[in-house]
């Protein structure tokens, strides 16, 4: 259970500045501010994670620097910039 007295963290989600709790999962932070985690690559359906323990690959999102992370197992840190779709740039990045 997350301690709601935890320090707040300012992060961006797709460029929008939001407040989250330091240490909560990126999945929780994103879903607290929008209706989906990401959009499925094939059919465009909204996705919100599936197994919630880092085993199913359904919660992959990106950081602004291009690194992919699992939203369900990655903890929020102040200044984090999360992208729910691939970052702009070369296709092989």
Strand runs (DSSP E) across 1-93, as ranges?
A: 8-13, 16-21, 38-39, 46-47, 60-63, 68-70, 81-83
Which has the higher per-residue pLDDT, 9 or 54?
Answer: 9
pLDDT mean across residues, the chain? 88
Structural tokens at position 84: 């729910």
The tens digit of pLDDT for each residue in 15-52 reads 999 999 999 999 999 999 999 999 888 898 888 888 88
Question: What's residue 90's pLDDT?
Answer: 54
- Residue 88 pLDDT > 90: no
């Amino acid at each position: 259970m997350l301690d709601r007295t935890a320090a707040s963290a300012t992060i961006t989600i797709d460029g929008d500045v939001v407040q989250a709790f330091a240490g909560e999962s990126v999945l929780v932070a994103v879903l607290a501010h929008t209706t989906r985690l990401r959009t499925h690559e094939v059919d465009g359906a909204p996705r919100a994670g599936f197994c919630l323990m880092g085993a199913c690959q359904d919660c992959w999102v990106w950081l602004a620097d291009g690194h992919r992370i699992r939203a369900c197992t990655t903890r929020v840190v102040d200044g984090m910039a999360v992208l729910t779709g691939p970052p702009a740039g070369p296709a092989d990045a």
